[in-house]
Amino acid sequence: MDIDLAKSHTIKIKELFNSLSSSPDGLGNAEAEHRLAKYGKNKLSEKKEKPIIVKFLLQFNNFFSYLLLFGSLLSFVSEWLLPGQGSIYVAWALLGVTVLNAVFTFIQEFKAERAMKSFKNLMTSTVVVIRDGKKQQIDSADLVIGDIMVLSEGDKVTADARIIEQEQLKVDHSALTGESEPQLRSVDATSKNILLSRNMVFSGTLVQSGMGKAVVVATGDKTQIGTIAQLTHDVQNQVSHLQVEIAHFIKIISYIAIFLGISFFLMGWLFKDISIWTMLVFGIGIIVANVPEGLLPTVTLTLSISAQRMAKHNVLIKNIDAIETLGSLTIICSDKTGTLTENNLHVNGFYIDGRFYSFNRQDKHIYEGKNQIRIRSIKGSAEFNDILLLCNNSVVNESKEFGDSTEICLKRFVSNFSNLNYIEKAHQRVHEVPFSSETKYMITVNRFDKNERAHLKGAPEVVLAKCNRIFQNGKFVKLTAASRKKILAENESYSRKGFRVLGCALKDINWSKKNAKKLDIDDYCFYGLIIMQDPPRKEVPDAVAQCKKAGIRIIVISGDQGTTVENIARQVGIVDDGNVIVINGPDLPNYSDDELKKILREKQVLFARALPIDKLRIVTLLKDMGEIVAVTGDGVNDAPALKKSDVGIAMGKSGTEVAKDAADMILLDDNFASIVKAIKSGRTVYDNIKNFITYILTSNTPEIVPFLFFILFGWPLALPVLLILCIDLGTDMLPAIGLGMEKPSDDIMKRPPRSKTSKLLNWKMIARSYGFIGPLQTAFSYIVFFSILMNGGWTWGMPIQVTDKLYMSAITAFLATIVITQMFNVFACRTSRLSVFSKGIFSNKFILIGLLSEAILMTIIATVPHIQMIFGTWFFPIHYLLWMIGFGMIILLVEELRKLIDRRFGIFGIEN
């Protein structure tokens, strides 16, 4: 198509339509499909991905890899200068584990990347267009040049377009132009610069309020944002708090490892008269003994599995920080509609002329009491239905439904008694005052035979305030104070039972744009109340109960009436029969920040008729009070509160694109219960990483102490360097990874929220690993070691050669004792506070596979001749296996005792 994009905003609309081969009725479906095939999808070209080999090589770009590769290089040099001392085996072992580490991490990141791409497919945005003269909802990727987009509040604009109609349309162009405030759009050009002209909207911008129509002039890479994207360099990914903390932990452990390695190297070289190259191998072994080589792949695996598990529970994680923060949430600020309720709104009945009429969804009939009546026999019902149908922007027909859930509900109701299409065509809309959360009403002006009629629907108290007449006995009569009071009492009665109530009114008007201001004059005639019901989700009460046990408070912030909010909150268990504080949004400005903080400290607080700005203020104050806050939101004006919160949660079904962009996670099913599942997953991730660290640090003590005793006291070296590598790089690795795949503990949602300042590694964990279990493992290993030596005829002070079968048997048994006690330790590390038996000993198949591999590897090292030659091992008496198993059981039992004391008396725990 021959169109100059730079001038598309200045030429006449008719000329623009001609150049685009389009019209106000939009393209035909066949033509749209032809253009889509010819010009491609409305998507930005994706950034060129790094080659797989580059992604793999980047796995070596971390401190652990540098350390291990440097150790491998020194070992190769040592073997070259002093051959036959075993350095070659150390060199290849270090190089091998570095490569295996990189391969495993690469595979997990590749899987996680592929999973996140599949998750993005669940987030495809949609747009309403006019094709063949009818509204249709399509995937925004299927937009083509010449399409007519229908824009309304909360929409994300997904193509560059020229405005052809607008009603109070405000679009936030700040992401593109830097405008500080959303600007009112216009049909006419206001600048020669296309970016500054207010008759244009651009891909990536956000509709703040109002409505309009626009013809698409550019899609995909041809849009303004597409042009910018082509010129923009790749942006570095932000590093999460968890990644920073892990990196900090790695550096601390590595510095300690280097310090100990160098210290022992110098001590042996200077005081023991051992050759420099032999001591170098020892020093490398000490460094390796302290470095948790499996940490990075385990963290990657844990986060990847967590993200996939959350996706199965309809939670899409956009920001990895959210996984960590979920574990420390103290408050959830939740919407009511669709989150706590089913979002299956249906009309329960209506109130006209002082009478309530119920609607039966099964038989589609109207009842007054128990008597079935025809709706046409109810005076004013035709006009009442007109308000529900014409003051409505949803689309409801046999093939599809889309739009606001409340408006869809109203049209469904009217469709039982009227021909929607006929009425809408007979009474064309000429003007609209869009609904907003601030005004809480909507007005449309529609053509009738002799004049126009303004239809008003909204919050009952707002609608009543705009009325001076009421429909009674087939006539318009003055709305008295008594009638007003009675209607408000009826509204209060229905809302107290958990119903959603809207007021309806109308007036005749001679319409022209000049008298648009008359629409706000308080001279409407009140017709009645429409009463709708959105029942609570069945799974929410249990989720709320879990939150309470987990020490998480729930504050409902809703736009509904206070009585409705309180009723739903009671039904799902957020509040009970105790003191409940319900604050209405209009009253919030009367509270100072200190007064509101005092109220927010109360256990049962609800907010009704709240505006998005109220939600932002509440979230800000809660964070000032030190709370960790999650906020749910779906509207465009919820975005500031979503961004301000610690975890912003957008609704996947009902949420606007603006809200989804601002959120950290998206509920694909809009269900509150999914939040609780996400919290459980977040807590589990943190637990598993801590359990992994606790496990791998334990064996450091029996690895380091033998060399320390060798240097200081002259004891025989009970664990040579190669056998240290066997533990760290062989036997410990797979069980540790199994801990990273552990399912949630039974008490995960019974603990108070984790402190925001808690660390992955704390002094209690260090005391447990280095001061309790580690020394036990060391003592047990030495008991077996010296028992074998002494039973073989060795006595204190007697020199023993490393090639002596007795010595080789003793060090093999020392290794086996560590390995077997670690087998029991891995079960102890599965929980930090609960008994491991509460989880089931055999419930984690990955740990069982790890233990089997551990046993096989230990057997090979101890019994296969060629392997014995490499590691300097030999057979040991088999009855010592019973000793080792007994020692392992002691470790498991003392850990169970420690956990029992922690549960009963709150001491000896390892939690922060």
Tell me the C-alpha distance between 658 and 205, whole Å.
9
- How large is the greatest C-alpha to C-alpha distance in the chain, in angstroms? 119
By three-state DSSP, how is residue 114 classified?
helix
Closest CA to 655 of 210, 169, 154, 209: 154
670 phi and psi angles, rounded to 5 deg: 60, 25
Count other Cβ atoms within 10 Å, centred on residue 482: 8
Pairing of strands 148-152, 126-131: antiparallel
Using CB atoms within 10 A of its CB, is residue 90 exposed (0-12), middle (13-18) or buried (19+)?
A: buried
CA distances from 155 to 403, 472, 515, 732 (A): 11, 40, 29, 53
Tell me the C-alpha distance between 707 and 714, whole Å.
9
Tell me the C-alpha distance between 656 and 665, whole Å.
14
129 forms bridges with which residues in the sheet?
A: 136, 149
* Cβ–Cβ under 8 Å, residues 437 and 559: yes
Count other Cβ atoms within 10 Å, centred on residue 786: 17
Tell me the C-alpha distance between 487 and 306, whole Å.
52
Tell me the C-alpha distance between 862 and 431, whole Å.
87
DSSP 517: G
Tell me the C-alpha distance between 842 and 219, whole Å.
56
Tell me the C-alpha distance between 242 and 248, whole Å.
10
Mark whether 2 is an active-site residue: no
* Cβ–Cβ under 8 Å, residues 667 and 650: yes
Tell me the C-alpha distance between 118 and 45, whole Å.
18
Tell me the C-alpha distance between 862 and 875, whole Å.
6
Q: Give exposure, 74-83, as e/b (b: 16+ Cβ within 10 Å).
A: bbbebbeebe
Pairing of strands 315-317, 160-172: unpaired
Residue length of the chain: 912
Tell me how many degrees the CA angle 727-733-734 measures, rounded to the nearest 5: 130
The single residue of 155, 172, 335, 634 carrying the catalytic annotation is: 335
CA distances from 518 to 456, 508, 509, 514, 523 (A): 13, 11, 9, 9, 9
CA distances from 287 to 61, 247, 255, 346, 734 (A): 19, 17, 9, 68, 21
Task: At 46, list the tokens.
Answer: 């994706």
Tell me the C-alpha distance between 375 and 378, whole Å.
5
- Three-state SS string across 586-639, please? HHHHHCCHHHHHHHHCCCCEEEECCCHHHHHHHHHHHHHCCCCEEEEECCHHHH
Tell me the C-alpha distance between 635 and 390, whole Å.
23
Tell me the C-alpha distance between 574 and 584, whole Å.
18
Task: At 467, list the tokens.
Answer: 């009325």
Tell me the C-alpha distance between 664 and 827, whole Å.
34
346 phi and psi angles, rounded to 5 deg: -145, 155
> Which residues are the active-site residues?
335
